[in-house]
Structure 1
């Protein structure tokens, strides 16, 4: 509803960085530059209007051709790069949070009301070089959004109490990220690579500085005054917008913002003085990580070095590379191989990394990477490979521009360098001009011994040789139509997308073979066809920027294909055999089976308490039903699956009679016919039995499972089974109730306000009436997750262990109030107004629109946005409150808690002991009084209703 509380501060999230460019003083406002038609050499096909105001603020307006929505992005040229004072790291990211704390004119609650009324979704992110704020909303609210945004950029105001509360939330974000091994590895890598430049610390900052933030209230004001100035800021307005009117609105509300005078001197990093090695010992089991990094050039739209190095490493370590085929597919020593050369204002790091399956292979994998690097210095890439890479780069960008927000976001990631719309176009002209000689020159200049940093992370001991770094020279090279309908969503988009939704999912897994549906789908999409191995498929799709992927859920497996219309015939010849003539080779089976086990044990259980808790809640509520295990399966189930099991499931599940087909984009009749002809090669029918009606078990009182795990935080999820799905008449009413209580990543919802905002206990608190797998990574759920039974769920993101008991009580207190009192008329009107507009935002992309349309077929409902708007329009507050009382409960719930001291927490729960809470900042008396009421709230949990499960046992069988 309002600010989404996911700060995108990890290394791989923000692709470009900001160039600190100060506008020259201007005493006469220039007229807006005329909107120029994109030339044939440009990758952006839009007409943009640009203007620089007298105070230095840059305005860029881009009509995108998509109706109804506008997306405003405001990149500010400040990031962790600008944190030059010792002890003050992390403040750029901290202001990403504080900017939502209000002004005298628009305090937080009033600001939230305005954004909610606009039906908007809003968020921000911080990187090394910029902070970007963005909002997507209905076009009629453009002036309102520009007005309130201008106010907070010019008049941000927050009391010391709010400052201290948010500083604890930032620490909570750091603690959340601490469960990610990759995050810690990159922190260590940076500290080794940089001695002077501020890139030494990540965007989150040093832990000691984050812990000291509550004492830095006065400095926070200094930081804001320095960096939040018009000459460092760009206002990007994209969507269904009239440029002249939009520019006039910006002038009206932003024109009085005063230019700043502060000049920053970011220290220059001295030349590297030799290769370095660092190791990170990891306290819990995980696969070893090996990264090799080199000093890399700064972003440039005129010089070739950065673009050349980026292209070279992508070709050499990406999915089409020989090394990927060798390490991941053939030898299966690695389950992830990646490269990352970010766009940054100053010279940075280019990283090559691998996740190794066995510690004993760490040296072998490192040397394989170094051998490849050495070869790049001696041999140029082929002209054909480079041409393919350029093609993939171009079409990949075009493919991503399928909605207004994506267009604005892409612009923001390049505009901030010199606050120009044309930066991206100029950069892609540099890319187009690259030659094999340019790439080899970049290798000779940057891939050198002195600039190398090797970093490893592991739980188990690595071979002793990993500490000895070999010189690069030591690696010198030595020698009939189908019988089904196709849903077509015709549009002008040149990117063609299709979805094949099969009624086959993990609910169809045979007993003892849990995980079979997911593994079979992976074998189709990621194991090659009969004629092409997967590496050959990947290489063939690369120049087309084509993709073919799978998603498996309880009742559905969906394959999604995407390619540019120019490449349709070529794409179909490569991608469709994956489904109709899969390779199903033993070597791919072993690789993908290992990957699925790692996804279950490492990525879910060991490294992600939040998703682990949500999956465990699902399994508990639906125990004894086909929904009673994760889609990934169980460890014993995965291990028992054979290649013959996969082949048999494939024959039963992927049939013409079990598929729903949809296509979108500039689709021709010929394309529809070719897709139907390809699918006609599938069997007409199979013998996969339909799943029975699913009914979860209603808990009797509060039934608690405490999963004991060595973790520094406590994650909580609780819920109960629902008979309400999209085909149920009460669905719109419950959708409204969950939105008011805990809209996903929305800061105005009740749980978020009471637990995170008022108390600063954690990173967010949400509620759901539909399954939302991978929720901690996404703003909106994927389509094609249809289920016959659903779960009402409350997700309390990790809190400090000493606050776990109180957090559970606080959430139950709010749920109890909702069930007892329902929504007020005002809450009802506000929430309905938001949802009437937000339904367009959550279905804005090409993929979402096509996926929701197929879901409507599966549920046998009208198109989703129409169904929701019509359903919401008919509702009364009495309808909503009646549905709440009928379907929800605060007394009978299944609870899952993941924590370290399971026995201690069980004792507190069973004793109903008072749960205190303390704060760093002063709190209002009403809140302290409520804390006393919540802390003493009796939950009535019986000892026999609490069980403790060691984490290692969860999903074992």
Structure 2
């Protein structure tokens, strides 16, 4: 399930929603008219500072240990200006460049001496910084994090150096065939929404980053503001004294984040397909994805898609048994879905043994979807998967990091730390007919995008054009006013 997964290493008031075709107006079965069940097992003490900074305090049985998250609800989704994709991820790097009070080397040394490990990650919808260490180091963590969020400072030479490092990271990431397929999928499936580019950004924009120093200063002013930031403290700590420390350290932080108009992705009306030819020998791969009407974790649509992936493509599915175990045409098969702030994609990813099997694998997937559209649903297996999703997540809450990440990936797309409760209440209400309706209206050819990949010397499926990067859309500007 998306919320239980590890964060991507490549590092979304709501934006306008893409219009959905009229045929998809049916929403999955609503929850019964009764008080929602609480799924997230830990009480959340929530505070809102006068400057708009949100603070969540979550006690967890981790004697002497604490986790500290600084969540900025800005990711690659916010990169609407042509020529500046990848900047949210790039700025994650710059946040480790230090301040006048605590230069980079001192910042690193202080945390290391205190036994604190720290890192960060960027997604389509957010940038999250995290630190883990002994509870006695919490005052130091708060001091250092508050300082860099308010007083970050770096010279242009450091900026240029980091920009070159980010280009190196891009080249490293996209020497991986699967990463390149993701880039091709998003670029092909989306036409105007910023989800068209990966978190790393378009390569031309990454190459131009060394010249964007002035823009980087503006980016910090736009997005690293208290009203766009949530602090999450998880573990063994005193709530009252921790809140006092946070109020003192962050209380003078001022400013409001920028607002932007996110362009709505128009409905897809034709089947899309591209091939990626890899320069070296590698196993052939296939990804097939469909646009979905909603992917925020608190919605019935998200509950449906979290279940539908393992139902159609997971180890208990007839398709998995056919392609992986019996005919052994593929070595791996899985659903692909990640909760997002705006509508995104639902799909399937397969690694094949031979490019000669593309046709058979596609035929088997098509047959599986046709059965679902015809109303064939294994109700018992559906209930088992719903149960597995819920208890699999609950069983993962055995360490600080998993609890913190669950909150990060609840807040990032929805703004609501209790979104998990809504997700699983919607999941409990799911009926077989909901899967059938989704398949009829969404899992159709005219709403699909396919990407194949073949290695050196292998032939792609006939009739599929080679992928070429699409021109970056001119999508707008960040300014005051509009939707965040």
**TM-score, length-scaled by structure 2:** 0.87
Residues of 2 paired with 1:140 and 1:393: CA distance?
36
Alignment correspondent of 2:19? none
**Cα deviation, residue 313, structure 1:** 2.4
Q: How does 1:811-850 map to 2 (within 5 A)?
A: none
- CA separation in 2, counterparts of 1:245 and 1:419? 25
* TM-aligned CA deviation for residue 301 of structure 1: 5.1
Q: Which residue of 2 aligns with 1:375?
A: 371
Q: Is the 8 A contact 1:296 1:306 kept in 2?
A: no
On the 8 A contact 1:300/1:427 being kept in 2, the answer is no
Cα offset for 1:200?
0.7
2:367 corresponds to 1:402: no
Equivalences for residues 441-590 of structure 1 within 5 A: 441-459=437-455, 460-462=457-459, 464-465=461-462, 467=464
Inter-partner Cα distance in structure 1 for 2:425 and 2:243: 29
Q: 1:234 aligns with which of 225, 230, 235?
A: 230
1:92 aligns with 2:98: no
The equivalent position to 1:305 in structure 2, one of 287, 301, 307, is 301
Structure 2 residue 12 is matched with structure 1 residue 18: yes
Asked if 1:122 is matched to 2:118, the reply is yes
* Residue aligning to 1:324: 320
SS in 1 for 2:369: helix
TM-superposed CA distance for 1:419, in Å, is: 3.4
For residue 416 of structure 1, give the secondary structure of its aligned residue in structure 2: helix
2:352 pairs with 1:356: yes
Give the superposition deviation at 1:204: 0.4
Q: Is 2:375–2:433's contact at 8 Å kept on the other side of the alignment? A: no
* Aligned equivalent of 2:433, options 437, 441, 455: 437
Task: Find 2:247's aligned residue among 237, 246, 251.
Answer: 251
Distance 2:163 2:416 in 1: 34
1:213 aligns with 2:209: yes
> 1:147-226, aligned counterparts within 5 Å?
147-226=143-222
DSSP-derived class of the 1:467 partner:
coil
> Are the aligned partners of 1:19 and 1:77 in contact in 2 as well (CA < 8 Å)?
no
Q: Structure 1's 379 and 191: CA in aligned 2 closer, same or farther, altered over 3 A?
A: same
* 1:276 equivalent in structure 2: 272
| Cα distance in 2 for residues equivalent to 1:100 and 1:188 | 31
Let me know the Cα RMSD of the aligned residues: 2.0
- 2:65 corresponds in structure 1 to 69
For 1:73-97, what per-residue CA distance to the aligned partner results, in whole angstroms no more than 9, with x for missing partners? 1111100010001010010000110
Match of 1:157, SS state, is coil
Counterpart-to-counterpart distance in 1, 2:325 and 2:278: 27
The whole-number CA distance in structure 1 between the counterparts of 2:161 and 2:13 is 32
| Secondary structure, aligned partner of 1:455 | strand
1:830-876 Cα shifts (integer Å, max 9, x gaps): xxxxxxxxxxxxxxxxxxxxxxxxxxxxxxxxxxxxxxxxxxxxxxx
Contact kept in structure 1, 2:291 and 2:344, CA below 8 Å? yes
Give the C-alpha shift of residue 372 in structure 1.
1.4
Distance in 2 of aligned mates of 1:416 and 1:288: 34
CA drift at 1:191: 1.0
**2: distance between equivalents of 1:375 and 1:12?**
32
Contact 2:297 2:340 in 1 (8 A): no
Return the match for 1:426 from 413, 419, 422: 422
Match 1:392 to one of 388, 397, 400? 388
Query: Which structure 1 segments of 5+ residues have no match?
Result: 1-10, 22-38, 469-957
Moved more, 207-216 or 368-377: 368-377
**Cα distance in 2 for residues equivalent to 1:366 and 1:98:** 44
* Matching of residues 537-686 of structure 1 within 5 Å: none
Which structure has the larger Rg?
A: 1
State whether residues 362 and 462 of structure 1, in contact with CA within 8 Å, keep that contact through their aligned partners in structure 2. Answer: no
How far 1:449 sits from its partner (Å)? 1.8
Aligned to 1:506: none
Q: Is the 8 A contact 1:73 1:132 kept in 2?
A: yes
Deviations 1:526-549 (A, max 9, x none): xxxxxxxxxxxxxxxxxxxxxxxx
Displacement of 1:466: 5.8
Q: Does the aligned pair in 2 maintain the 1:234–1:419 contact within 8 Å?
A: no
Which residue pairs with 2:40 in the alignment?
Answer: 44
Whole-angstrom CA distance in 2 between matches of 1:131 and 1:117: 26
CA shift for structure 1 position 226 = 0.6
Contact 1:296 1:446 in 2 (8 A): yes
Give 1:302 shift.
5.0
Equivalents in 1 of 2:279, 2:222: separation in Å?
40
